[in-house]
Amino acid sequence: MKTLVIIPTFNEAENISQLIDKVLKQDFNIDILVIDDNSPDGTGKIVAEISTNNRRVHLIEREGKLGLGSAYITGFKYALTKDYEMIVEMDGDFSHNPENLKDMLIAIGDYDVVIGSRYIYGVSVVYWPFRRLLLSYFASLYVRIITGMKIYDPTAGFIAYRRGVLKTIDLNHIMSDGYSFQVEMKYRLWLKKFRIKEIPIIFTDRTRGQSKMSKKIVHEAIWMVWKLKFLAITKKL
Ligand SMILES: Nc1nc2c(ncn2[C@@H]2O[C@H](COP(=O)(O)OP(=O)(O)O)[C@@H](O)[C@H]2O)c(=O)[nH]1
Ligand SMILES: [Mg+2]
């Protein structure tokens, strides 16, 4: 299945070239699209060089830090202009193990959406500070209770979509950007009754570079869940 793996980057110079190598090795049908937001550390230059020598690697450089959600939307739109049958989103910091891509490729044969999940069988997160893990775990409970979605890891960012699934979403009307972007996408797909499969992954905290998580992203997520729920009840989502 022809696959595009979308990797948003902001200051991932220490990770990106190794990550690209590992992802490409998983399957010869995989191409990569990096969406870089003019990283001050030169991530974009590194990827530009790789992409001139390798037709499987593509780069979209944006002028500044425009946010993770909008980076994915840019990537989804790009994928839909080409002939990719499966579209994957993945972080650029090795928190998501490229080897899981193989399982996702297999699972998408029977499902519309495959989520690499941290919380199916208890918790499979390595090296995260305890505070961060608690925040993420309770956020997933909070989202599940309010929305009623039976998804154990609603803020997960390692996801494979069939092309047809993304085509049903109006990408210009996604409201959220950070963690709630992940929630909003899943909720929209859940409401459309797509076949969603969670497969267990081990999420490992980055060893290089820095997290871009901020309080603002967390706050956005807290109230956005209610907004999404309200829109769903009033059939506006
Ligand atoms: N293009 C782009 N990528 C971003 C932005 N913010 C974060 N990223 C990337 O999104 C991925 C996840 O971000 P990260 O900082 O690891 O968040 P965390 O895993 O929640 O701590 C990484 O590959 C980041 O480089 C952004 O504003 N624009
Ligand atoms: Mg990370």
DSSP of 79-148: HHHTT-SEEEE--SSSSS-TTHHHHHHHHTTT-SEEEEESSSSS--EES--HHHHHHHHHHHHHHHHHH-
Residue 110 and residue 197 in contact, taking contact as beta carbons nearer than 8 Å: yes
Closest Cα to atom 26 of ligand 1: 67
Q: Using the atom order of ligand 1, give the atom closest to the CA of residue 11.
A: 25
- What is the CATH classification number for the domain harbouring 206? 3.90.550.10
Average pLDDT over residues 58-62: 98
Matching residue, tokens 């990106």:
16
Q: What is each CA distance from 171 to 11, 176, 181, 182, in whole angstroms?
A: 26, 11, 11, 13
Domain hosting residue 217, numbered range: 3-233
Residues within a 6 A CB radius of ligand 1: 8-10, 12, 35-37, 65-68, 71, 91-93, 95, 206, 211-213
Total domains in the chain come to 1
pLDDT in tens, 135-149: 999 999 999 999 999
pLDDT confidence bin for 214, thresholds 50/70/90: confident
Q: Is residue 218 over pLDDT 90?
A: no
Q: Which of 38-52, 181-195, 202-216 has the lowest mean pLDDT?
A: 202-216
pLDDT confidence bin for 213, thresholds 50/70/90: confident
Test site for ligand 1: of 11, 14, 73, 91, most ligand atoms within 8 A of the Cβ: 91
Q: What is the pTM of this model?
A: 0.97
Three-state SS at 34: strand
Q: Is residue 178 over pLDDT 90?
A: no
